[in-house]
A = this chain, B = another copy of it.
Amino acid sequence: MSRGYNLAIVGATGAVGEEMFKTLSQREFPVKSLRAFASKRSEGKTIEFKGEKIKVENLASASFENIDIALFSAGASISREFSPQFARKGAVVIDNSSAFRMEKDVPLVVPEVNPHSVEKHRGIIANPNCSTIQLVVAINPLHKRARIKRMVISTFQSVSGTGREAIIELRTQTEDFLNGRQLTSQVYPHQIAFNLLPHIGSFLSSGYTEEEMKLVNETRKIMEDDSIKVNATCVRVPVFISHSETVTLETEKPLSVEEVRQILSNSQGVIVEDNPEKNIYPLPVNAAGKDEVFVGRIRKDESAQNSISMWIVADNLRKGAALNAVQIAELLVKKGLV
């Protein structure tokens, strides 16, 4: 491999892990060495990266010496146990789990929104939740111009957000349904094929789910404004890749639809797809495999003052996870922080 950095991917065999290898390669990240970690179950598997075969190591028994950047996507409990160990050995961990996101000395970073925040960390930088990343990329430019006071959000989240086993469950249940066989659910509490689950993450005593509260709390932390009010309902839908969101946002200053289109057209990482007359609006199947956040159905909400509605779609595995993590790594390189 070329000159560059010693990298590790933890959770290398998962849906996001796989996307991380692809993203590092596509973006030609300066990789000197690349190690792959997963659970014992995957030990010895090989992953191809730029024509080389990388052997998957068992995280539990491996050593973590000489790693510059570790990209974690193996769930919160693995992160809680191993991220600090990697950090102690000198790596900067970019963690895709929820384990450290709300901790005060852990930056929660979306490079288009708060790149400055990567600078102060204790060895761990958190990658936000998928549904939050695509939201803030699209709304932060509007917030900067007109100050968002309140948002009402409904999400339509694909099964790949749950992981590889959920992709298999949707596919298997769909096949079973079409063949008249009995459906079984293992990953989700109910059938997901041809169904909707208003349930992502655990339920809290308030009646909200963890996923819904991530949209509230992570948005405020990334946008550095605790006064933004957020109401969210998160729904799992039978789609493989890409999360979609309806967002109705009230701003302090008025924004016309034309202004919103213009602001977003000039915003980094955003593509406006908004020509309803020609049936052009963001679609999950079109966003899959793309890096950008797609925004359409931009219109004035007549039910409140200074209010705008829109439809935001992005690939949850890419911008919602792997790409954002790699962009954080690029930011560390660019700022000479690694």
A residues lining the B interface (CB < 8 Å): 150-152, 154, 156, 171, 174-175, 178, 189-191, 194-199, 203, 206-209, 229-231, 233, 235, 237-240, 244, 246, 248, 257, 276-277, 279, 281-285, 296-304, 307, 309, 311
A285 to B190, CA, bound (A): 10
A287 to B290, CA, bound (A): 36
Given A156-B156, A189-B279, A207-B257, answer yes or no on A196-B303 (Cβ-Cβ < 8 Å). no
Q: Which 8 A-B pairs have the closest CB atoms?
A: A207-B299, A229-B303, A154-B154, A203-B276, A231-B303, A189-B279, A233-B246, A152-B152
B239 and A194 contacting across the interface, CB-CB below 8 Å: yes
List the B side residues contacting A237 at CB < 8 Å: 156, 196, 237-238
List the B side residues contacting A297 at CB < 8 Å: 198, 207, 233
Cβ of A188 to closest chain B Cβ, rounded Å: 9
Given A174-B178, A231-B301, A309-B233, answer yes or no on A248-B196 (Cβ-Cβ < 8 Å). no
B196 and A231 contacting across the interface, CB-CB below 8 Å: no
**Majority SS of interface residues in chain A?**
mixed
List the B side residues contacting A304 at CB < 8 Å: 150, 229, 231
29 interchain pairs, CB-CB under 8 A: A151-B303, A152-B152, A152-B248, A154-B233, A156-B235, A190-B279, A191-B283, A191-B285, A194-B238, A194-B240, A195-B239, A195-B284, A197-B283, A198-B282, A198-B297, A199-B279, A203-B277, A206-B300, A207-B276, A207-B297, A207-B298, A231-B302, A231-B303, A231-B307, A231-B309, A233-B248, A233-B309, A237-B237, A237-B238
Partner of A230, one of B282, B284, B303: B303
B284 and A196 contacting across the interface, CB-CB below 8 Å: yes
Cβ of A228 to closest chain B Cβ, rounded Å: 9
A234 to B194, CA, bound (A): 18
Residue from A203, A231, A240 having most chain B Cβ neighbours under 10 A: A231
A154 to B309, CA, bound (A): 11
Partner of A198, one of B207, B230, B296: B296
